[in-house]
């Protein structure tokens, strides 16, 4: 695999992404330089692709990922990994709002904190945040796991469906219709299996597992106030 360096700068993002796609189709690893925190870099990368970002990115980096491995040296803007189907994205710094929104599979690993609504409407996969997840993370997550090692902000796990939010550390407040349950040993082992390849397994953690209280799953007009709280 040959390293191909692509300078982003102020060039057309369409042209940059065409160059990225051509390089990965040739089996090369892409290194992005001079990114200037530009938006929409590395969209729809195929299985087996490799992309490394030197610096920070703007919105939607790695969106629609279909099996690529993406690393971002610094921070990522809103929607990193949005709607990804598979693959692995690592953010070495902070991830902005809606990290992993509507993702279907794969893993996003954030080494810093993440912004509000991390994992909003996610349909599968795993998001691991070494720091703190922001306001209303897990909002309406249908499936998958959000695993936060450094606590959570306000309204955590609001309006969950069948997704799960796991938190080690302080939680500022819970969202609407959340149940905090004691995980089984088997469930903890599943989380450890996700964390172990990242070098983050720690048996001393006191996990809080959040799931839906199922009150909002079926609308009833007599319970409309519950919906109005969202």
| pLDDT tens-digit series, residues 141-172 | 999 999 999 999 999 999 999 999 999 999 99
From the number of C-beta atoms within 10 Å of its C-beta (0-12, 13-18, 19+), residue 204 rates as: exposed
Rounded-to-integer distance, Cα 58 and Cα 56, Å? 7
pLDDT digits (tens, 9 = 90+) for 104-130: 999 999 999 999 999 999 999 999 999
The percentage of the chain sitting over the pLDDT mark of 70, rounded to a whole number, equals 95
Contacts of 205 (CB under 8 A, 6+ apart): 149, 168
The percentage of the chain sitting over the pLDDT mark of 90, rounded to a whole number, equals 92
Range(s) of the domain holding residue 99: 3-228
From the number of C-beta atoms within 10 Å of its C-beta (0-12, 13-18, 19+), residue 188 rates as: middle
Rounded-to-integer distance, Cα 19 and Cα 40, Å? 14
Query: Residue 23's domain is classified under what CATH number?
Result: 2.160.20.60
Q: Would you state the pLDDT for residue 96?
A: 98
Count of domains for the chain = 1
Which residue has 């945040």 as its token pair? 129
Q: Which residues pair with 141 in a beta bridge?
A: none
3-state secondary structure of 7: strand
Q: Would you state the pLDDT for residue 31?
A: 98
Q: Would you state the pLDDT for residue 226?
A: 59
Residue 110: φ, ψ to 5°: -110, 120
Q: Would you state the pLDDT for residue 224?
A: 59
pLDDT < 50 regions, the chain: none
| pTM of the model as a whole | 0.94
Q: Would you state the pLDDT for residue 219?
A: 63
Q: Would you state the pLDDT for residue 225?
A: 63
Q: Would you state the pLDDT for residue 221?
A: 56
């Amino acid at each position: 695999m040959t390293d191909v360096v692509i300078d982003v700068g102020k060039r057309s993002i369409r042209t940059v992404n065409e160059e990225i796609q051509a390089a990965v189709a040739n089996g090369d690893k892409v290194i992005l330089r001079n990114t200037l925190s530009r938006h929409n870099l590395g969209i729809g990368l195929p299985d087996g692709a490799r992309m490394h970002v030197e610096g920070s990115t703007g919105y939607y980096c790695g969106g629609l990922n279909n099996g690529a491995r993406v690393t971002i040296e610094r921070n990522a803007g809103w929607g990193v990994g949005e709607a990804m189907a598979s693959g692995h994205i690592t953010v070495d710094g902070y991830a902005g709002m809606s990290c992993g929104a509507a993702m279907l599979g794969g893993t996003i690993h954030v080494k810093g904190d993440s912004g509000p609504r991390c994992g909003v409407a996610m349909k599968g996969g795993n998001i691991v945040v070494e720091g703190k997840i922001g306001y209303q993370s897990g909002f309406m997550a249908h499936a998958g796991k959000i695993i936060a090692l450094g606590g959570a902000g306000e309204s955590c796990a609001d309006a969950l469906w069948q997704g799960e939010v796991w938190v080690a550390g302080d939680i500022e407040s819970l969202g609407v219709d959340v149940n905090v349950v004691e995980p089984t040993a088997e469930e903890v082992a599943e989380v450890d299996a996700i964390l172990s390849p990242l070098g983050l397994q720690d048996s001393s953690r006191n996990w809080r597992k959040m799931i839906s209280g199922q009150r909002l799953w079926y609308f009833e007009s007599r319970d409309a106030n519950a919906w109005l709280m969202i």
